[in-house]
Structure 1
Amino acid sequence: MVVELNWISHRARLSAGEVAVVDGETNESFTFQDLDQRSTSLAYHLQQKGINKGDRVALISPNDLSYLDLLLACSKIGAIFVPLNWRLSTKEIEWILKDSRPSIVFYHSEYGEKVSGFDPKKTIQLDNEQYRQLVTTKDAPFYIPVEQSERDGLAMIYTGGTTGKPKGVILSHQSILWNAMNTVISWNLSKEDATLTVLPMFHTGGLNALTIPILLMGGKVVLSHSFTPKKATQLINEHGCTIILFVPTMYQAFIQSKEFQEHSYPSMKVFLSGGAPCPLEIYDAFKQKGILFKEGYGLTEAGPNNFYIDPEMAYEKRGSVGKPMMFNEVKIMTENQQEAKPHEIGELLLKGKHAFENYWNNPEATLETKRDGWLATGDLAKRDEEGYFYIVGRKKDTIITGGENVHPLEVEHCLVQHPAVVEAAVVGIPDSFWGEKVTAFLVVKQVVSAEELTSFCAEQLGRYKIPKSYHILEELPKTHVGKIDKKELKEMGLKMS
Structure 2
Amino acid sequence: MHKEFDWISSRAILYPNDIAIIDATTDDRWTYSEVDRRAEVLATHFVNQGIKKGDRVALLAPNHISYLDFLFAAMKCGAIFVPLNWRLSEEELSYVLGDAEPTLVGVHESFHRTHEWLGVFGQALEIAGNSYIDQLPTYTENIFQKPEIDDKDPLAMVYTGGTTGKPKGAVLSHQSIFWNAMNTIVSWDLKRDECTLTSIPMFHTGGLNALTTPILLAGGTVVLESDFEPEKAVKNLIKYRCTIVLFIPTMYHMIVQTDAFQEATFYDMEVFLSGGAPCPLSVYEEFNRKGLSFKEGYGLTEAGPNNFYIDPEMSKVKQGSVGQEMLFNEIRIVRSDGEEVATNEVGELWLKGKHLFEYYWKNDEETADSFQGEWFVTGDLARKDEDGYVYISGRKKEMIITGGENVYPLEIEHWLQSNEKVDEVAVVGIPDDKWGEKVAAFVSVKSEDVTEEELIRFCELKLSKYKIPKEFVLMAELPKTHVGKIDKKALLDDYAITE
- Fold match (TM-score > 0.5): yes
Relative to structure 1, the CA distance from residue 434 to residue 115 in structure 2 (aligned partners, 3 Å threshold; closer, same or farther) is farther
Aligned match of 1:51: 51
In the TM superposition, 1:58-69 aligns within 5 A as 58-69=58-69
The correspondence for 1:452, drawn from 451, 454, 458, is 454
Shift of 1:337: 2.2
TM-score (normalizing by structure 2) = 0.97
Aligned match of 1:245: 246
Shift of 1:383: 0.4
3-state secondary structure, aligned to 1:118 = helix
Relative to structure 1, the CA distance from residue 406 to residue 184 in structure 2 (aligned partners, 3 Å threshold; closer, same or farther) is same
Aligned match of 2:258: 257
In the TM superposition, 1:215-254 aligns within 5 A as 215-254=216-255
Distance in structure 1 (CA, Å) of the matches to 2:131 and 2:117: 18
Aligned match of 2:314: 313
3-state secondary structure, aligned to 1:116 = helix
**2:493 maps to amino acid:** E
Aligned match of 1:494: 496
Distance in structure 1 (CA, Å) of the matches to 2:130 and 2:183: 39
Aligned match of 2:392: 391
Relative to structure 1, the CA distance from residue 66 to residue 117 in structure 2 (aligned partners, 3 Å threshold; closer, same or farther) is closer
Distance in structure 2 (CA, Å) of the matches to 1:457 and 1:102: 51
Conservation of the 8 A alpha-carbon contact between 1:44 and 1:144:
no
Conservation of the 8 A alpha-carbon contact between 1:93 and 1:115:
no
Conservation of the 8 A alpha-carbon contact between 1:275 and 1:297:
yes
Conservation of the 8 A alpha-carbon contact between 2:103 and 2:121:
no
Shift of 1:25: 0.8
Long gaps (5+) in structure 2: none
Identity of matched residues, %: 53
3-state secondary structure, aligned to 1:378 = strand
Provide Cα deviations, 1:121-176, integer angstroms capped at 9, x if missing partner. 71111016993335696996112210110100000000013120010000000000
More moved, 294-303 vs 155-164: 155-164
Provide Cα deviations, 1:239-297, integer angstroms capped at 9, x if missing partner. 11000000001111111110111001111000000000010011111011000000000
Provide Cα deviations, 1:318-376, integer angstroms capped at 9, x if missing partner. 00000000000001001232101110000000000000000001010001111110000
3-state secondary structure, aligned to 1:313 = helix
Aligned match of 1:143: 144
Aligned match of 1:354: 355
Distance in structure 1 (CA, Å) of the matches to 2:184 and 2:241: 20
Conservation of the 8 A alpha-carbon contact between 2:98 and 2:121:
no
Distance in structure 2 (CA, Å) of the matches to 1:263 and 1:72: 36
Conservation of the 8 A alpha-carbon contact between 1:39 and 1:135:
no
Provide Cα deviations, 1:93-137, integer angstroms capped at 9, x if missing partner. 011110000000001133233351532871111016993335696
Aligned match of 2:209: 208
Distance in structure 2 (CA, Å) of the matches to 1:339 and 1:136: 58
More moved, 102-111 vs 382-391: 102-111
Aligned match of 1:485: 487
**1:37 maps to amino acid:** R
Distance in structure 2 (CA, Å) of the matches to 1:394 and 1:448: 29
In the TM superposition, 1:243-392 aligns within 5 A as 243-392=244-393
Conservation of the 8 A alpha-carbon contact between 1:280 and 1:319:
yes
Conservation of the 8 A alpha-carbon contact between 2:272 and 2:293:
yes
Aligned match of 1:9: 9
Long gaps (5+) in structure 1: none
In the TM superposition, 1:26-105 aligns within 5 A as 26-105=26-105
**1:34 maps to amino acid:** E
Conservation of the 8 A alpha-carbon contact between 1:41 and 1:134:
no
Conservation of the 8 A alpha-carbon contact between 2:109 and 2:129:
no
Provide Cα deviations, 1:398-454, integer angstroms capped at 9, x if missing partner. 111122111100010111111211111111122222222211111111121111111
3-state secondary structure, aligned to 2:187 = helix
RMSD (Å) for aligned C-alpha atoms: 1.5
Distance in structure 2 (CA, Å) of the matches to 1:231 and 1:419: 25
3-state secondary structure, aligned to 1:151 = coil
3-state secondary structure, aligned to 1:244 = strand
Conservation of the 8 A alpha-carbon contact between 1:37 and 1:136:
no
**2:484 maps to amino acid:** G
Provide Cα deviations, 1:454-491, integer angstroms capped at 9, x if missing partner. 11101111111111111122211111111111111111
Conservation of the 8 A alpha-carbon contact between 1:38 and 1:135:
no
Relative to structure 1, the CA distance from residue 258 to residue 138 in structure 2 (aligned partners, 3 Å threshold; closer, same or farther) is farther
Conservation of the 8 A alpha-carbon contact between 1:41 and 1:136:
no
Distance in structure 2 (CA, Å) of the matches to 1:193 and 1:140: 37
Relative to structure 1, the CA distance from residue 392 to residue 408 in structure 2 (aligned partners, 3 Å threshold; closer, same or farther) is same
**1:247 maps to amino acid:** I
Provide Cα deviations, 1:72-98, integer angstroms capped at 9, x if missing partner. 000001000000000000111011110
